[in-house]
Amino acid sequence: MGEIMTYRKLEERSREFAAYLQNGLGLQKGARIALMLPNLLQYPIALFGILRAGMVVVNVNPLYTPTSFAPIKKRSIFKFNSA
């Protein structure tokens, strides 16, 4: 709380996150990334980082229970990693 996000910080942090996805996790362009975050400043960083890396964002409601998330996980083509 109380954090100020400038466009420059957003650009720098999303670039770093994109590099982590590509180099740290070894994900390729076109990979589907499930994004399960509430309304926080980390959301746009993750969203723009995923898009910058050429990957696809699969938005998932953070209020889903494991039972309600199971069919989405089954129908989607993304790898599940709870890192």
Secondary-structure class of domain 7-75 per CATH? alpha beta
> pLDDT at residue 4 above 90?
no
- Helix, strand and coil in the chain, % to nearest 5: 45, 10, 45
- Report residue 68 CA to chain centroid gap: 20
d(CA 7, CA 57): 21
Cβ atoms of 10 and 40 within 8 Å: the answer is no
Q: What is the DSSP string of 70-81?
A: HHHHHHS-----
* Least trusted range by pLDDT, from 1-5, 25-29, 51-55, 63-67: 1-5
Confidence category of residue 19, pLDDT binned at 50, 70, 90: very high
pLDDT tens, position by position, 48-75: 999 999 999 988 888 988 888 887 777 6
